[in-house]
Amino acid sequence: MKFLITGASGLIGKNLLDKLLKKDVEINILTTSKNLKSNNKKVKKFYWNPEKEIIDSSSILGVSVVINLAGSPIAQLWTKNAKKSILNSRIKSVELLNKIILEKNVKIDQFLCASAIGIYQSSTSLKHDENSKNISNSFLGNTVKKWESSCDSLFKNEIKITYLRIGLVLSKKGGLLKPILNSINFYMGTWFGNGKNIYSWVHIDDLVSSIIFLIENNCKGVYNLVAPNPVTSKQFTLTISKILGKKIIIPSIPLKIIEFFTGSMSELLLFSQDVCSKKN
């Protein structure tokens, strides 16, 4: 089986690549780096730049499964240009991939596209499954909606599309957990407001195993990739502090202070999504 993976240098992509390479596969990687040397004979690298609409179309040849993890980082200062990049990098990635699939007339069995639980309305009382109609009318929510909708053009090519609505990814190597660990280790950890906002999280190993399961079982449609036991941000912080043997000595940070200093980006810090992983 041959894969085409975008975003392979990110936290999820690196872990996914490591696990896939233990199987009998070939992998093409689209990268924004112009250094196309590969240290593994199973891996070939091809240059692309989604925001400039540049792509090496030969990267799709012989590919049966596409895994699209590309996108400008969400965790950056939300300037006007940053918001534009966050949205456009995701939409243009899908458009470019669809373009070369059509151009080379390649039969793709499955197209897996990263998405996020940020599509769901932030609430401490709502529980979201894959059929939830409570969609967030926020920058993140609208970004994810447009991101998923950009895949619609693939349907006419009879490609199975799998939407990966990913929760808060936990890994010591990156993501949100690393700065939280550091802050608690230096007695700077706390939570925001009353700490009742809900984190639907997933460990990086479970996330990658879930993606591989969806590929091996040829699954299509929307999947919430989260652990079955979401926790409040206060529980989350206290559990980590207990594991590290560190006390939380700083009082919780009032919501108004967060909103004042971060503006619209506060939704990234104050989100609350109780997401169900039991696919009906």
Indicate whether 242 belongs to any domain: no
pLDDT, tens digit (0-9, with 9 covering 90-100), for 57-96: 999 999 999 999 999 988 888 899 999 999 999 999 999 9
Range of the structural domain that residue 30 is part of: 2-169+201-227
Instruction: Specify the pLDDT at position 262.
Output: 85
The residue ranges of the chain whose pLDDT is under 50 are: none
Residue 132 sits in a domain of what CATH number?
3.40.50.720
Indicate whether 64 belongs to any domain: yes
Of 191, 181, 214, nearest to 114 by C-alpha is 214
pTM: 0.94
Rg (CA), the chain: 19
Indicate whether 14 belongs to any domain: yes
Indicate whether 67 belongs to any domain: yes
Indicate whether 205 belongs to any domain: yes
pLDDT, tens digit (0-9, with 9 covering 90-100), for 39-51: 899 999 999 999 8
The total number of structural domains in the chain stands at 1
| Strand 168-171 relative to strand 174-175, pairing | antiparallel
